[in-house]
Structure 1
């Protein structure tokens, strides 16, 4: 089968590899589309924590934002499992479902956690991917093409608003106009009193307005103390301190972006202002709800997709990553499409 791989620093290919062998409790899924995101770029550039701590090595089959159709179960599927041929979205985080953290309802903290396409499990950027049966969520018929690849990033947006307790009277600011930020704008457009987008990219701010933002502000021109909830989705360290300035008394700051640089701030201000800061890890428990949000049109994939690249050659894989590296003047998401003819070798 075809498998798109990161083979070294700034190196990719499209190789022929064996179809994953059946294993008890697993299901083989025929991949349709895979999203490429900043986490994949970190692996390509060698800056990923997964590479640095040895959880990931080259060659690496990437792909953690994906959907496809059930191809075959390794054993008898559990009652209610998606039928062979039915569309499914795969979960990135695959917890053990047995440890104390899993039983406590915090699978993100699972002691034996694996993540499809990041570490521990082959990614979905291939004709087939094998995952545990419990790591699939059914997709309804009729969803627009590409929707399944946006569900994985969207679950963390749902987690952010769930933990922050989004209310209809909230005035929300979303920092960042990438995939996560635009999804956060779409969500708040339906469930908050107002939502403003904050960023540095004019094209991204225009997209945010199209996704339902009431106003769009350059990062240097944001009103301070004006928002009851700020979703930080840019991953810029400076955005964290900006979010604290933007929060009104008693406000909340949900950190979806992953900033890796240190910042300076006065911790006592959090106490004096009564501001809650929430670290958002991943919304692994929200796949069903997120699928329903796309089905109802609260969330939409179409405005976020810049290009769909057919996974036909090594050059196509390189092109997909080059699009992401180049920066943007429009929608943020690049998809690799594996829906064409199968390429297999017996």
Structure 2
């Protein structure tokens, strides 16, 4: 089968690899759509922290935002999965430790991360083997494009939950990239009043086209901000989030800077602010599928273009395909 492999910083391409086989507990999925994420770009540039920590190494097959159809199962897997359209969790825990048994496999010390950590091959391929325990069925009202937006949506939904905003309250989202926009859409569906702040004129214009109130950080309207989500990679934003949020309320951190981000614990304490970090979308995947399936949230406008495997290198290098829309997300159809 054809698969996209990164072999080193700036080095990547399509390779012919052996067909995957479902090991015990696994299924084989024919991949219909894959999202390209900022984490994938960091692997392509060599900046991904896991490369330095030893949790990941080249060569690596990326792809952790995906949708597909089950085409084979191991003998010990429920045969009812055959033919079903699915997406799946990125975080593959050991299944034995206390964290996994408590449903927190996304922080299992021995976890694999699909296409990211531990050498578990990702979805940028025609087919992929994956544990059946990580699957989530997609209803007919969730198409392939939307299905491949479930994983980032799960992250965004957890950030909205962590911000603590209720209907009618005001949420500030720092960073109108994919996660920030999804958080805005999900919070707006909840009934919150959402404002997005960003540096890029293009990203602000796109957020405005989705009906959001938008500004730069320097031109924010007056508060109060009942919750703040930092979805940026700027090291100064975590401290700003604490500064802007109402006393006694919550901030959620889902952006990740490549350099240390400093937050003064005195500011948290003296404002009685709760700060939550969001590592993964795992606990939010089912809720995201429900919101997509009901039509409460339609994330598809975020996808600027869908390309084939041979064009992934260009996307990772920051080159926008001809005819791409204004959205921040690019998808891959491995069948092309």
* 2-structure distance, mates of 1:242, 1:180: 19
Q: Name the counterpart of 1:202.
A: 201
Query: What CA deviation, in whole Å up to 9, does each residue of 1:70-112 have, x standing for no partner?
Result: 010011423xx75312210021111123210122332222122
> Is contact 1:324–1:334 with CA below 8 Å preserved after alignment?
no
**1:1-346 pair list within 5 angstroms:** 1-78=1-78, 82-120=80-118, 121-213=120-212, 215-223=213-221, 225-311=223-309, 313=310, 316-323=311-318, 330-340=326-336
Alpha-carbon spacing, 1:106–1:212, altered in 2? closer, same or farther (3 Å)? farther
> Is contact 2:162–2:250 with CA below 8 Å preserved after alignment?
no
Q: CA deviation at 1:264?
A: 4.5
Alpha-carbon spacing, 1:115–1:265, altered in 2? closer, same or farther (3 Å)? closer
For structure 1, list consecutive stretches of 5 or more residues without a partner in the other structure: 341-346
Q: CA deviation at 1:329?
A: 8.3
Alpha-carbon spacing, 1:216–1:8, altered in 2? closer, same or farther (3 Å)? same
Q: CA deviation at 1:195?
A: 0.7
Q: CA deviation at 1:204?
A: 1.5
Alpha-carbon spacing, 1:198–1:53, altered in 2? closer, same or farther (3 Å)? same
* 2-structure distance, mates of 1:332, 1:324: 12
Q: CA deviation at 1:271?
A: 1.5
> Is contact 2:252–2:278 with CA below 8 Å preserved after alignment?
yes
What SS is found at the alignment partner of 2:317? helix
Give me the TM-score of the superposition, normalised by structure 2.
0.93
* 2-structure distance, mates of 1:267, 1:207: 35
Alpha-carbon spacing, 1:25–1:242, altered in 2? closer, same or farther (3 Å)? same
Query: What CA deviation, in whole Å up to 9, does each residue of 1:193-243 have, x standing for no partner?
Result: 311011011222222233342x21112222465201001111211111221
Q: Name the counterpart of 1:344.
A: none
* 2-structure distance, mates of 1:133, 1:151: 17
Alpha-carbon spacing, 1:10–1:217, altered in 2? closer, same or farther (3 Å)? same
Q: CA deviation at 1:165?
A: 3.2
Give me the TM-score of the superposition, normalised by structure 1.
0.90
Q: CA deviation at 1:177?
A: 0.9
* 1-structure distance, mates of 2:319, 2:293: 27
For structure 2, list consecutive stretches of 5 or more residues without a partner in the other structure: none
Deviates more, 1:316-325 or 1:133-142: 316-325
> Is contact 2:153–2:288 with CA below 8 Å preserved after alignment?
yes
Deviates more, 1:30-39 or 1:89-98: 89-98
What SS is found at the alignment partner of 1:3? strand
